[in-house]
């Protein structure tokens, strides 16, 4: 995996943040936050981001599904310090969208995550059109250029 771009390692690049506690049970035998726990933390951040949009797919007869997920580790995570998950849109298409997220602990990026979401069902296109119309500075990651 390629190392993340420098802007991906900065919390200010992401519009939505949520602090997630680490648990002793999240640790692997070496004392690091394990990969399953990290994926769950990114899931919490993704759900928080979507809830902040103020919409739920069932309201429009749609389902949101994870089509692809790439999680890249940058540094070790440790208990008991909380992890902040930061998330924003990187792209919104006609039936799918991509979220970029990063996990920060004690101010340092410890992992990044790219998630491709798809909408299915009779209200799917309307759901994605609403997301595409959102104010970019408020919901999209801040990428240079």
In this predicted model, what pLDDT tens digit does every residue of 12-68 receive, in sequence order? Answer: 999 999 999 999 999 888 888 999 999 999 999 999 998 898 766 666 677 889 999
Residue 144 lies in a domain: no
Question: What is the distance, to the nearest Å, from the Cα of residue 99 to the centroid of all Cα atoms in its chain?
Answer: 6
Query: Does 145 fall in a domain?
Result: no
pTM: 0.91
Domain residues for 101? 6-136
Q: Which of 13, 15, 33, 27 is nearest to 111 (CA)?
A: 33
Total number of domains constituting the chain:
1
For residue 123, being part of any structural domain is answered with yes
Q: What is the CATH number of the domain that holds 95?
A: 3.10.129.10
Quote the strand ranges of the chain, DSSP E.
16-20, 63-73, 83-92, 96-105, 108-120
Q: In this structure, is residue 75 part of a structural domain? A: yes
Residue 109, in any domain of the structure:
yes
Q: Is residue 1 part of a domain?
A: no
Query: What number is the average pLDDT over the span 62-91?
Result: 94
The reply to whether 25 falls in a domain is yes
């Amino acid at each position: 995996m390629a190392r993340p771009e420098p802007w991906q390692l900065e919390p200010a690049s992401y519009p939505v943040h949520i602090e997630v506690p680490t648990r002793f049970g999240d640790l692997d035998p070496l004392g690091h936050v394990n990969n399953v726990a990290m994926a769950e933390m990114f899931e919490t951040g993704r759900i928080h981001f979507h809830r902040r949009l103020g919409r739920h797919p069932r309201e429009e007869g749609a389902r949101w599904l994870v089509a692809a997920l790439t999680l890249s580790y940058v540094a070790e995570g440790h208990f008991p310090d909380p992890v902040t998950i930061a998330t924003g849109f990187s792209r919104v298409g006609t039936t799918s969208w991509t979220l970029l997220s990063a996990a920060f602990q004690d101010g340092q990026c410890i992992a990044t995550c790219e998630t491709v979401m798809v909408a299915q069902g009779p209200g799917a296109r309307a759901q994605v059109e609403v997301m595409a119309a959102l104010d970019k500075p408020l919901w999209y990651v801040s990428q240079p250029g």
